A and B are shown apart, each in its own frame.
Chain A
């Protein structure tokens, strides 16, 4: 019981501290300031909805992924390059949406989809896009391209789509 109180107090103290550091850093770095795992996301374009009318989808080919994988395969790089080449310097914002096949549990699929979107985002940044112009969202296994339950459908559904904010 005493330990629980201590633990909660510690969490409360740390939260108070992190509240301050968030205000200082608009880039939402980790509280320790480490960039160990990726390029921090910039402020969202509020109101831009990947599934809405203010985002143009389907203009660029989706990046496909291997089973349980979130790395951008060499044969997918040209798709990323096409987007980066068209948008870098334009000031336009692209939303990368990550999707999975149905063979995973729901919440794990959401994190895997986000990891795919973030991997494509890193590739876009590496090809010259500004970090602040690339947003991400994960839909997990929702909205499959092909609702069938077979290898061909699953391969199509493991993807990251590009949506250009109008």
Chain B
């Protein structure tokens, strides 16, 4: 704990909300797939189970400050999503430490967890429950969700009758119904038509103005320059560069284009 405090004081009074210290995450890739007990038992006895360790993240240390919009960029498979998972308690780091000083609202791929046979209304409550909200918390924002997603006429129809745009709009509205302390966005700024995209971007920016911290992953680099305060470039599980959006993106483009 004392170690953390020292680090903070050197940081010009910026209040950290997410801290990663030497975080490593390894996936075990079995060299052959073992599907049955029999095989497993035989191999276990013969000590033939081999796992290749794949380091999705190795030795990542960084700090995100309260109120910041922090972006993550990198090629596919660089470890960006793994990093979001480690921060949002989905994966426990293999080594190192993650400390988060705020409640996280994950924006899961919109509508994951929706049930096609249930109505929009029922799905709002189900999805809210999956995100960890209580009944009262969902009732308080229900009307606002319906209004924001522009589904007033369809809210009692089963979700299977929705178009993919309606589906995504409802998912976005539920996930952002409550202003979170920390909002995690994994490549989802392209929801719905242009008007709705603007609306959702406005909502995220208003969260940020009111003090939310935003952690985003995207391949839309130009949008990132406009939105982020700082950007980290992740490459093969390591931080390659952290800093001003312009600089980091220029360096990233320099190497990849």
Q: Do A and B come from one complex?
A: no
